[in-house]
Chain A
Amino acid sequence: MTDEKSGAGTPVPQPEEVQGPRSSDLVSGSGAPRTLEVVEVREGMFGVRGSGDTSGYGGLVQPVAMPGASPRPYGGWFDEVVDVLAEVLAASGVPFDAAVERVVVDPPGAHAELTLHVHRDHLVDVCRALRDDQDLRFELSLGVSGVHFPHDVGRELHAVYHLTSITHGRRLRLEVSVPEADPHVPTTTSVYPTNDWHERETWDFFGIVFDGHPSLARIEMPDDWPGHPQRKDYPLGGIPVEYKGATVPPPDTRRSYS
């Protein structure tokens, strides 16, 4: 872990410098380094931009990486599901490596969760395979959640799907990453009709366009609302509360621990 780094230019994260949960886990022992997904670069210690950091930590630069691809065996039923999925996809003419970019098992331990990073072109195929095959049978979708990683260049917007197999008592997560400049993901409502409102919510809050959705309209915000509020760069106006001449700034510009 880096303590301090000079220069405020764009840092090039090195695997050993990346701040992760268990930094030693991020680079696997024997094989090639695991894929790191740098999602954020943290500078300084107090979330202050520009000036005012007198803490001495102003030069601190820490790239933050999400857990990378996991090596086999994944453990438990994870291997079986991934194998069956690869088979089913191959049978329908979709190469597994093209559809699933990365398999992540995290956090380590008894409560690990399986995440499949799916390429958007094959999302619907993967969903259909997961739902329909009798050995997979993830028949219940628990909605779509969005995440915005402004520093994950070219993959800023993530749509996250949580699927449940009531039949087999399993849960897994699908994650689709798209660039902010081209925020298009095919809709999954043809496979999971329940994702209708969830996709509308994700469009509303993150601006991810779900192509083919029956009525992709805003659902929480007013129809004429500008912008997508859950994005990290969405300005928080705040209310200029004045108390004896001092104002309370919006929370994203306040001094805080980063």
Chain B
Amino acid sequence: MSTHTTGAPGAAPHATRPPVGDFEPGIPSFEASGGDWADVAESAVAAAALGEERIVVNMGPQHPSTHGVLRLMLEIDGETVTEARCGIGYLHTGIEKNMEYRTWTQGVTFCTRMDYLAPLFQETAYCLAVEKLLGITDDVPERASVIRVLMMELNRIASHLVCLGTGGNEMGATTVMTVAFTAREEILRIFEAVTGLRMNHAYVRPGGVAQDVPPDLVEQVRKADPLVRRYLGQLGDLMLANPIFKGRLVGVGHLNLAGCMALGVTGPVLRSTGHPYDVRKADPYCGYETYDFDVPTATGADCYDRVVLRLEECYQSLHIVEQCLERLEATAGQPVMVGDRKIAWPAQLAIGSDGQGNSLEHIKEIMGTSMEALIHHFKLVTEGFRVPVGQAWQTVEHPRGELGVHLVSDGGTRPYRAHFRDPSFNNLQAVAAMCEGGQVADVVVAVASLDPVLGGVDR
């Protein structure tokens, strides 16, 4: 923030005109500035003196087509973008730092809030990393892994639907948005039935999941499945052969394989270049090697192919979901949390009269029969468990690419360091490569095809 003097001669050059209106002299006015914005303005003034016309457009951080608070600094020549730069950090909330002051179990509650469109991926990746440090990776019950896979795949569909819906909306295709959000609603209903919440679930826990799924879940998902398929079909009908849509997307935001590898871009953007890299296949976790699914690829390496891939991935996810449902039926009644009582919170919960999940048997035991169990429960919940010294790295296939979790433990009850390699954060580096030389309108499309979620970018 800087005090601005209206029209003062010799003042620093400004990219914007001085504010107009009824300004009382002597009352300071403030304007938002930051970064090297002043330098940019200054160089534009210098260029203007040489007879060049240079326009620097600040798109965002409140622009509706920037998926939140992404700030794009575009230098344009007419309608052509000659330089594109990203400014991020407007949504930095210090989640990684906060996690250092909470127990390992509470960490889930924080990391779920990073990428708010794909919360279950952060939770699962974090828990897998904690389990690796604890050395209990192979002890996680099968049913817990099946539930994790089910939730992640449903979440992938929900996330892709938002990507497609908002991407369409940004191009003026409101119907695409309404159809996509209607379909997402079906999935959020399932999430609400399982975790009690539509986002910020904190459902996956180190050692398993917080509680078993409701008894009618399989039925509920089977009912939602054809609905989601129908909406996906509608989205395909609206987008894939639409000449206006193709006119805006085909050949736009091109990023080839070499560019993807150099910039570390993964996920649908990498697969749109023809590289079938998918962590679920390359380094399976949660038993993905036992599921039957394909990794769709394309060769156009443009925004249109990424739309096709995301739609195709939704169908593949539905295919995995069906397999999960069969396994859920086969494992009914089995535990959803590791057996080690030094780690496991009570997970076989029932809905109490207050509407909260409670384990009545557990309460009966700790309140009625065993003092030691009460002490143990108290210590486990307030102090938490200790995790062996060391560090672990775990990646999962996030809807936007490869999500990595780096955890360091000092043997205490809290993470010594938790770092998330968020795919959106990394992929935004490709904006310059994808947008420069294109039109301003293409920037919107290219950014939408990267599908950044700023909660994950800034953490």
Contacts and interface: CB of A to CB of B under 8 A. Distances in A.
Contact of A160 (B36, B388, B406, B426): B406
A192 interface: yes
Contacts of A230: 96-97, 417
Interface in A138-161: 139-143, 145-148, 160
A166 interface: yes
21 contacts: A19-B389, A40-B410, A67-B390, A107-B135, A107-B390, A108-B135, A109-B135, A143-B426, A147-B391, A160-B406, A162-B406, A164-B402, A173-B391, A194-B263, A197-B425, A198-B426, A201-B425, A220-B459, A223-B36, A230-B97, A256-B101
Interface of A: 19-22, 39-40, 42, 64-67, 106-111, 113, 115, 139-143, 145-148, 160, 162, 164, 166, 169, 171, 173, 192-198, 201, 217-223, 229-230, 236, 251-252, 254, 256-258
Contact of B429 (A21, A22, A67, A194): A194
Contact of B402 (A142, A146, A195, A258): A142
Given A145-B417, A148-B417, 11 more contacts: A66-B390, A67-B390, A142-B395, A143-B421, A147-B416, A197-B426, A197-B428, A220-B92, A220-B459, A229-B97, A258-B412
Interface residues of B, number: 55
Given A107-B133, A111-B137, A171-B393, A229 B261 contact: no
B443 to A, nearest CB: 19
B384 interface: yes
Nearest to B35: A223
Given A22-B388, A66-B389, A140-B261, A257 B132 contact: no
Contacts of A22: 388
A252 B390 CA distance: 22
A166 B282 contact: yes
Interface of B: 34-36, 88-89, 92, 94, 96-98, 101, 132-133, 135, 137-138, 261-266, 275, 277, 282-283, 382-384, 388-393, 395, 402, 404, 406, 408, 410-414, 416-417, 419, 421, 425-426, 428-429, 458-459
Contacts of A197: 425-426, 428-429
Nearest to A112: B132
Nearest to A66: B389
A229 B100 CA distance: 12
Contacts of B132: 107, 111
A145 B261 contact: no
A3 to B, nearest CB: 15
